């Protein structure tokens, strides 16, 4: 199975300030939701893909990773403790968590204990419903500051809402996610196994891999500077390899517009014509 992109996790120091910045760009942002392990989020929902703004809510609830277990909370807590902000995790869709785990193991990718959770989600009308997810974590040893997992959404009817997917700026769908790496070819085997997509393109800028929802681009720092400009290249949230940028397709937009990471809590955002 080839997996489309499901969402990215963007760790921020101030959740509401980050949400206001996205709202100022014309995005609708969901109300705050709290995880049982001590983090909180607010979301930007697109057409089957979302951006998860994530911050610490109660650090005392976060458990460190145990033997064979991955700690979502600790991974993002430790990143934020360095004073950083930006995209920490790339997430692919799942139709069958057990099949994902088996596929990763067959390919020799690192796997962790299965992880499932539920939380409350505020609906546009103010009511509250249950949402739940099954997460299948893996890891790329050559990119230790990036987390990878697949996400199975148990109650999509309670999660996706047209009111949250409607944005004043015309944003509709994810076009792509950009990773910056010193040598893009170092990551093609892992990313191919993670997404199930073995067909990729080598370009003058790096590597491109199309998924059913969004393209993954892996660019060298020089190529990234050429594509998105000095302001974006000079405000990478971490040293490569790093998740650097999102491209979002917007209806009614006539030309590409780039908001550098220094102005958007560690994420460079390119708004492109739909």
CATH number at residue 263: 2.60.40.4320
pLDDT computed for residue 1 by the predictor: 86
CATH number at residue 61: 3.10.180.10
How large is the C-alpha radius of gyration of the chain?
17
> What is the chain's mean pLDDT, rounded?
97
Q: Give me the mean pLDDT over the 158-169 stretch.
A: 97
Per-residue buried b or exposed e for 11-47, using 16+ beta carbons within 10 Å of the residue's own CB: bbeebeebbebbeebebbbbebbebebbbbbbbbbbe
Instruction: Tell me, yes or no, whether 201 and 118 share the same domain.
Output: no
Q: Which of 50, 56, 14, 12 lies closest to 34 in space, CA to CA?
A: 56
203 lies in which domain range?
Answer: 169-273
Residue finishing a domain among 147, 164, 181? 164
What is the total count of domains within the chain? 2
One domain, residues 15 and 81: yes
Residues 121 and 66 in one domain: yes
**pLDDT digits over 6-17, tens only?**
999 999 999 999
What pLDDT shows up at residue 45? 98
Structure tokens at 103: 């596929």
Same structural domain, 64 and 109: yes
Residues 79-96: what's their mean pLDDT?
98
% pLDDT > 70, the chain:
100
Q: pLDDT-based confidence at 274, cuts 50/70/90?
A: very high
Q: Same domain, yes or no, for 180 and 160?
A: no
Regarding whether 157 and 176 lie in a shared domain, the answer is no
């Amino acid at each position: 199975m080839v997996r489309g992109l499901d969402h990215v996790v963007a760790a921020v120091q101030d959740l509401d300030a980050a949400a206001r910045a996205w709202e100022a760009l014309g995005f609708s942002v969901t109300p705050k939701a709290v995880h049982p392990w001590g983090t909180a989020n607010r979301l930007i929902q697109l057409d089957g893909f979302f951006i998860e703004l994530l911050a610490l809510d109660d650090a005392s609830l976060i458990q460190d990773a145990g033997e064979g277990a991955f700690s979502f909370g600790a991974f993002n807590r430790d990143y934020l403790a360095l004073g950083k902000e930006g995209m920490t995790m790339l997430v692919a869709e799942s139709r069958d968590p057990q099949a994902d785990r088996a596929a990763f193991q067959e390919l020799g990718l690192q796997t962790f204990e299965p992880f499932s959770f539920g939380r409350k989600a505020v609906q546009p009308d103010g009511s509250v419903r249950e949402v739940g997810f099954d997460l299948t974590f893996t890891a790329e040893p050559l990119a230790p500051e990036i987390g990878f997992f697949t996400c199975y959404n148990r109650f999509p009817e309670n999660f996706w809402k047209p009111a949250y997917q409607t944005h004043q700026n015309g944003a509709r769908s994810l076009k792509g996610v950009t990773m910056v790496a010193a040598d893009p070819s170092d990551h093609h085997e892992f990313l191919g196994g993670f997404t199930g997509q073995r067909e990729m393109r080598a370009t003058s800028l790096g590597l491109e891999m199309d998924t059913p929802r969004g393209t993954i681009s892996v660019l060298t720092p020089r190529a990234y500077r050429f594509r998105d400009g000095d302001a974006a290249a000079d405000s990478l949230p971490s040293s490569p390899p790093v998740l650097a940028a999102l491209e979002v397709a917007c209806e009614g937009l006539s030309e590409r517009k780039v908001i550098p990471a220094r102005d958007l809590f560690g994420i460079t955002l390119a708004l492109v014509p739909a």
